[in-house]
């Protein structure tokens, strides 16, 4: 993970409120990123996750919980795997595309298969 502001490496740091990712260029660069349950949350991953949430709301009118349930049923994922926060950028993009496609065409698509493959890779 590199700093989106200065391009330096991001390293794990410990602060008053626990661990977080901080720029190696500190104190010249003060960019930080939150640390997720499975490691650092990349800024672009986080933005993509927000976009995926947005797609659920705008295309389906679903809440996060409803979207997660749908993911579990459609993709055969468990509760933890179906959390959009754990998805990387590529998975979020696939998800957004899948939501939109399903809305018009319906049914299982190649995107769902790709999603499942991406999830399997992530587990290894």
The residues binding Zn ion (CB under 5 A) are 3, 5-6, 8, 23, 25, 29, 31
| Nearer Cβ to Zn ion (42/102) | 42
Q: What three-state secondary structure class fits 84? A: helix
| Nearer Cβ to Zn ion (2/73) | 2
* Distance between CA atoms of residues 118 and 48, nearest Å: 15
Task: Tell me how far, at minimum, the Cβ of 41 lies from Zn ion, in Å.
Answer: 16
| Nearer Cβ to Zn ion (35/97) | 35
Task: Tell me how far, at minimum, the Cβ of 4 lies from Zn ion, in Å.
Answer: 8
| Nearer Cβ to Zn ion (31/100) | 31
Task: Tell me how far, at minimum, the Cβ of 71 lies from Zn ion, in Å.
Answer: 34
Using CB atoms within 10 Å of the CB of residue 80, give its burial: 0 to 12 exposed, 13 to 18 middle, 19+ buried: exposed
Task: Tell me how far, at minimum, the Cβ of 24 lies from Zn ion, in Å.
Answer: 7
């Amino acid at each position: 993970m590199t700093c989106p502001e200065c391009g330096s490496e991001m390293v794990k740091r410990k602060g008053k409120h626990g661990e977080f990712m901080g720029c190696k260029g500190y104190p010249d660069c003060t960019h930080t990123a939150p640390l997720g349950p499975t490691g650092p949350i990349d800024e672009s991953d986080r933005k993509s996750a927000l976009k995926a949430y947005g797609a659920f709301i705008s295309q389906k009118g679903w809440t996060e919980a409803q979207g997660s349930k749908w993911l579990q049923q459609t993709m055969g994922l468990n509760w933890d795997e179906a959390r959009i926060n754990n998805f990387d950028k590529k998975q979020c993009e696939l998800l957004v595309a899948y939501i939109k496609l399903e809305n018009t065409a319906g049914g299982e698509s190649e995107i769902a298969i790709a999603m499942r493959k991406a999830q399997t890779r992530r587990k290894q």
